[in-house]
């Protein structure tokens, strides 16, 4: 009688233990859910490639939820300076190095590249096709000064990586951007992202500088033509910078480093290399060992 009761008690305890283990297993208590906050350039988000990368990453790390904020490089770095994100994905080397030098970023890892395009109306009123970017900007400037109604240039004007490169090219013409370009009637700042700037430039039949990925993604909805697509001054390099935990102790450095490892892994690089719009590749995976940026 006592023996039977003891066996029943043992079985009851075992059942309770099995149920408890099952509940723990299904509830995911063993692996706490984390959030990885990333400030990203608009080109990575607008083209759709970031969603594919995020989906693959979250499949690999189901306990990490990726949360992205899309903006220009300048604004993205500002998020980093405030500790609002764990990592930034940007494309303006000069700003990136300053960000790290000031102690906000831990390091810089290149993961992809493409090119900036000088785009404009198909009839090319300034006749820039075949020129270098600097020559084209000089011609747009002189044509705009002669006839501002026929030749206009639209700028993002938002301190993004694209805007920063645009200013660099203007300064390479020998004219000071701030005093000789920005206040001209043929030069218009949109204060918007790349997609919106392309749409407005299309409506105004104006020239603009665009990253190739966003232009190719919008190509089916606009009539602007890519007039200049090559040259070292148009090389566009994308980098990853984790926020320095010594500056902000709350940042999720572990998840940020996992993202960097994933983005530079064979899987991440293949997603970047294979991603395309209508058969046109938008990004080149960076597999080299040297920084190709000017």
**pLDDT value, residue 236:** 94
Is the domain spanning 34-113+238-285 CATH 3.40.190.10? The answer is yes
Residue 36 near residue 68, CB atoms below 8 Å: no
Largest Cα span, the chain:
109
**115-234, which class in CATH?**
alpha beta
Q: How confident is the model at residue 294 (pLDDT cuts 50, 70, 90)?
A: very low
**pLDDT value, residue 122:** 96
Q: What is the mean pLDDT of residues 32-46?
A: 94
Query: Of the candidates 104, 96, 51, 53, which has an alpha carbon nearest to the alpha carbon of residue 73?
Result: 96
pLDDT in tens, 180-216: 999 999 999 999 999 999 999 999 999 999 999 999 9
Q: What angle do CA 10, 15, 19 make, to 5 degrees?
A: 150
- CA pair distance 126, 207, nearest whole angstrom: 9
Residue 161 near residue 41, CB atoms below 8 Å: yes
Query: Of the candidates 177, 174, 286, 173, which has an alpha carbon nearest to the alpha carbon of residue 236?
Result: 286
Q: What is the mean pLDDT of residues 39-49?
A: 93
Q: Where are the domains of the chain?
A: 34-113+238-285, 115-234
Percent of the chain past pLDDT 90, that is, above it, reads 83
Q: Do domains 34-113+238-285 and 115-234 have the same CATH topology?
A: yes
**pLDDT value, residue 25:** 46
Q: How confident is the model at residue 287 (pLDDT cuts 50, 70, 90)?
A: confident
Q: How confident is the model at residue 32 (pLDDT cuts 50, 70, 90)?
A: confident
Query: 3: buried, middle or exposed (CB in 10 Å: 19+, 13-18, 0-12)?
Result: exposed
**pLDDT value, residue 24:** 43
**pLDDT value, residue 143:** 97
Query: Of the candidates 259, 236, 235, which has an alpha carbon nearest to the alpha carbon of residue 88?
Result: 259
Question: Token pair of 178, please?
Answer: 């701030």
**pLDDT value, residue 1:** 47
**pLDDT value, residue 216:** 95
More confident residue, 14 or 236: 236
Query: Is pLDDT at 29 greater than 50 in this prediction?
Result: no
Q: What angle do CA 69, 70, 72 make, to 5 degrees?
A: 130
What string of H, E and C letters represents the secondary structure of 238-249? EEEEEECCCCCC
pLDDT in tens, 229-284: 989 899 999 999 999 999 999 999 999 999 999 999 999 999 999 999 888 899 99
Average pLDDT, rounded, for the chain: 90
Residue 34 near residue 255, CB atoms below 8 Å: yes
**pLDDT value, residue 31:** 64
**pLDDT value, residue 269:** 95
Non-local CB neighbours of 4 within 8 Å, separated by 6+ positions: none
Residue 225 near residue 120, CB atoms below 8 Å: yes
């Amino acid at each position: 009688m006592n023996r039977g009761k003891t066996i029943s008690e043992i079985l009851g305890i075992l059942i309770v233990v099995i149920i408890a283990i099952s509940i723990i297993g299904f509830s995911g208590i063993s692996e706490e859910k984390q959030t990885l906050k990333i400030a990203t350039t608009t080109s990575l988000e607008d083209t759709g490639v970031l969603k594919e990368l995020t989906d693959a990453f979250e499949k690999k790390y189901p306990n990490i939820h990726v949360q992205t904020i899309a903006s220009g490089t300048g604004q993205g770095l500002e998020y980093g300076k405030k500790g609002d994100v764990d990592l930034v994905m940007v494309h303006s080397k000069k700003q990136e190095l300053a960000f790290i030098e000031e102690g906000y970023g831990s390091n810089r890892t290149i993961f992809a590249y493409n090119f900036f395009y000088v785009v404009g109306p198909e009839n090319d009123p300034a006749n820039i096709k075949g020129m270098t970017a600097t020559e084209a900007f000089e011609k747009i400037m002189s044509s705009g000064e002669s006839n501002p109604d026929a030749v206009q240039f639209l700028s993002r004007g938002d301190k993004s990586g694209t805007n920063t490169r645009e200013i660099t090219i203007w300064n390479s013409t020998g004219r000071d951007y701030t005093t000789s370009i920005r206040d001209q009637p043929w030069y218009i700042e949109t204060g918007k992202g790349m997609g919106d700037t392309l749409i407005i430039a299309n409506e105004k039949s104006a020239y603009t500088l665009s990253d190739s990925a966003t232009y190719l993604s919008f190509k089916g909805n606009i009539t602007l033509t890519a007039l200049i697509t090559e040259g070292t001054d148009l090389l566009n390099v994308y980098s990853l910078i984790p926020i320095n935990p010594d500056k902000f102790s709350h940042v999720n450095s572990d998840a940020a480093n996992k993202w960097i490892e994933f983005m530079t892994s064979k899987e991440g690089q293949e997603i970047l290399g294979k991603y395309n719009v209508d058969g046109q590749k938008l990004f080149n995976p960076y597999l080299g060992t040297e920084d190709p940026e000017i």
